[in-house]
Amino acid sequence: MTSDWRADRIGSALRGENPTVLRRLAAGFAVIGDVQFLPGYSVLLADDPQVERLSDLPKARRLAFLSDMDALGEAVEHACRRLDPAFRRVNLEILGNTDGFLHAHVWPRFEWEPADLVRMPVWLYPRESWQDERSALAPRHDALRAEIGRELDRLVPQVPQVPQDAQDAQDRD
């Protein structure tokens, strides 16, 4: 993977150049995470790079984003449960402390995690976990990517995208 798409994750997704995109959803892009120390880690990116927080969205788009987050969480849960019997649960988070665009993290959690971390927020994992080449997204994650994608296809009906101008007009009504 080249690194240029990382500087503009949403723009590259809109242009079809972001290699981590799993599916285009109603209000964003489901992507697999750059790091996979917890296999199945995924992110929902809002489809507008100018949107910084959930409250920036009109109500209908906000609900669509949350619905997409729910679908991605369920897809990760089903895929991870099928692929790893030690799967425990999924954590969903909208934080926004580092990246200045709306996104939601979907973290699968497993029984095999270190005892001191398994019940703690994933952000407490040591820095090495985030930077270790062994957990970087790679072709070995293709089967997991495919499984999450199949689950998204099953859970999210493919509906035509509503142009943003039309959506904004609906929100004002």
Q: What is the pLDDT of residues 73-82, one digit of tens each?
A: 999 999 999 9
Amino acid 99: pLDDT:
84
- Our count of domains for the chain comes to 1
Domain ranges, residue 32:
4-172
For 29-72, the pLDDT digits (tens) are 999 999 999 999 999 999 999 999 999 999 999 999 999 999 99
CATH number at residue 27: 3.30.428.10
pLDDT value at residue 116: 95
Contact 31, 56 (CB under 8 A): no
CA distances from 50 to 31, 46, 88, 101, 151 (A): 18, 9, 35, 7, 29
Q: What is the pTM of this model?
A: 0.88
Instruction: Yes or no: say if 56 and 125 are a contact pair by the CB < 8 Å rule.
Output: no
Burial class (CB in 10 A: 0-12, 13-18, 19+), 172: exposed
For 65, the 3-state DSSP assignment is helix
Q: Residue 167: what pLDDT?
A: 47
